[in-house]
Chains A and B, each alone.
Chain A
Amino acid sequence: MPEGKNPNWRVWALAAALALCLLLALAVGSVSIAPGEVAARCFDALRGRARGDALDRIILDARLPRVLLAAAVGSALALAGLAAQNLFRNPLAGPHVIGVSSGAALGAVAAMLFAGAAGWAVAFWSMAGGLAVGAAVFFLARTGRQWGYSLLLAGIALGTLCSALTTGALYIAGERLQTIIFWLMGGFWRANWSEARVMLPLAVAAAVALRLMAPAMNVAVLGERSAEDTGVNVRRLQFGLLAVAVVPTSVAVSLAGVIGFVGLIAPHMVRLIIGNDHRALVPGCAFAGALLLAGADAVARTAAAPAEIPVGLITAILGAPLFLWLLLRRAGEGRR
């Protein structure tokens, strides 16, 4: 909703924080590079004057695609979370609630286990799994009269089924168990330019699509009926929100595994900073999601170097306490 104070500068502040975070993420690693040097090299490359030396290769070929992929996945997950929370008018919803992450994970695990798939084939089957669950949830929910409600229930049911099947697959995985579990924990160690080139435009498209829905999302908090009476085409909005919650998430899981909590946490953090106006929340979430995951990935690859901590572990370990804190804060507000 529109706030009395202008939230625009807060969005720009988030954008600035993201830029700083990306710069630092590019600077840290096995070779430390001065952030100023990183910035200069990036600008040179943008102007087509890359120097092509060893430092350039580290920054532009090794680190940049990974940092950008992490940022894009973070954005996509945060936007998906915002879309899901508005769709279900439930602050605890996230992309996982519609079962998409579970479907994508099942697709990937099944492909690795039964078809011996690797690389892009895993990504493909993971995406197919996520989209299949998203589509199934959508068509199951169409039969219900209370659309948002039946969507939530169908999502939880299918998500639980997929998780159970994944666990079953792990049970019979034998010697592949470690590979699969490592994949499931999520991470960007395989990141390369071709993956970043898929994920970046998708995250931008999701942000633009969701920003176009923002005015209707503001009205949607009044409830389905009131939103309709106020001129919102509720079905179209819900379909759009579902698409933003499903498509980028499926692709993100296929490229980076299951990364928890970003989709749930980022929208809440941004609400605390920016307020409830979706016109500012959408860009805010895009920036904050990118900031969180690019930051978490930088920690993941440097904290225990040369070993790498799965980034899903970092987001969950940092995310869960943060989430509990938000929850307690909410409960405290409820009592007042």
Chain B
Amino acid sequence: MTALQARGVHFRYGPGRPVLQGVDLDVERGRIVGLFGANGSGKSTLLRCLNNSLRPQAGEALIDGRPAGGMSRREIARRVAVVPQHTPDDLPLRVEDMVLLGRYPHGTLWGETTEDDRAVVEESLRRAEAVELRGRRFDQLSGGERQRVVVARALAQGADILLLDEPATHLDIAHQLSLLRLLRTLADQGCAILLVSHDILVAPGRVDRAVLLADGRVAAAGEAVVALSPENLRRAFGAALAVSWSADGGVTLTPSAQGGG
């Protein structure tokens, strides 16, 4: 069954301009879907609609075929985990304790930590390749290390649907690649992954499917090579770009002769 779906999602903040205008999207288990688009194209809003943090005015998000609108926050968090764009970087927490916070949706009334919680934290640290960070303090980690801990915290929720909102923003190229490798491993383990990014240099070659969002609508969807064509990119980013793909899925963008806007 499709892990996560958007069906005709419309959303606007207050009386303003609509941000999403009938978006359809599918994310299956075992795959990485890249959601690309310019700043302000509605990517993050769509992500928040998908786990019902924002309620669409029309259309709906389905989690494992069930409407997200009918599920409690805890229920959603047990199925869908979010790696946010910003995590406060001044939290004086030990890494292990930070990851343990991900167990909240499984907690009891008084929230005592169980052996089971400890085991899941250990496993999540291992999967996110952050075991050696366990005893360190979160506010003393580098950007790349911090991101792995945030991924581990998301995994500790026990969810197999991961939504990542611009996870590579503060990472250098080596750490971006290592994060994408980690996401591939997680997808191979059966996770459904939606990767939101405005960066079209590194990620596109490493996703199974690309969805291009422009002005709150899906401008193109399909294999990255097809979806991210020069015409589609011009529509989405308003910039004229020449795209060339290498055999291993790498992509090179060059501003084309017509210039861009």
Contact = CB atoms under 8 A, between A and B. Distances in A.
A145 to B, nearest CB: 8
B84 A229 contact: yes
Contact of B104 (A211, A212, A219, A276): A219
Given A2-B113, A215-B104, A279-B110, A226 B87 contact: yes
Interface string A225-242: 110111111000000000
B4 interface: no
B170 interface: no
A232 B73 contact: yes
Contacts, number: 81
Contacts of A168: none
A229 B77 contact: yes
A209 to B, nearest CB: 12
Nearest to B106: A231
A241 B86 CA distance: 24
Nearest to B101: A219
B73 A228 contact: yes
B28 interface: no
B100 A2 contact: yes
Contact of A232 (B82, B88, B104, B112): B104
Interface stretch (B91-99, B122-130, B217-225, B251-259): B91-99
Instruction: Categorize the interface residue count of chain A.
Output: 20 to 34
Contacts of B135: 4
Contact of A231 (B48, B77, B86, B110): B77
A218 B98 CA distance: 10
B87 A222 contact: yes
Interface string B145-161: 00000000000010000
Given A211-B110, A231-B74, A226 B84 contact: yes
Interface string A274-296: 00110100000000000000000
Given A223-B88, A225-B53, A230-B104, A1 B93 contact: yes
A230 B110 contact: no
Interface in A1-15: 1-4
A214 interface: yes
Given A230-B102, A230-B105, A231-B73, A4 B96 contact: yes
A216 interface: yes
B93 A231 contact: no
B97 A225 contact: no
B97 A1 contact: yes
Contacts of A277: 97
A194 B131 CA distance: 57
A136 interface: no
Contacts of B236: none
Nearest to B163: A229
Contacts of A117: none
A11 B101 CA distance: 21
A15 B107 CA distance: 26
A231 B76 contact: yes
Contacts of A233: 72-74
A221 interface: yes
Interface of A: 1-4, 145, 211-212, 214-216, 218-219, 221-223, 225-226, 228-233, 276-277, 279
10 contacts: A1-B93, A1-B94, A2-B113, A3-B97, A211-B110, A214-B111, A230-B101, A230-B102, A230-B105, A233-B72
* A-B pairs, 9 with minimum CB distance: A215-B111, A231-B77, A231-B105, A229-B82, A231-B74, A1-B97, A2-B97, A219-B104, A1-B93
Given A4-B96, A218-B101, 19 more contacts: A1-B100, A2-B97, A2-B100, A212-B110, A216-B104, A219-B104, A222-B91, A222-B101, A223-B87, A226-B82, A226-B84, A228-B73, A229-B53, A229-B81, A231-B73, A231-B74, A231-B104, A276-B92, A277-B97
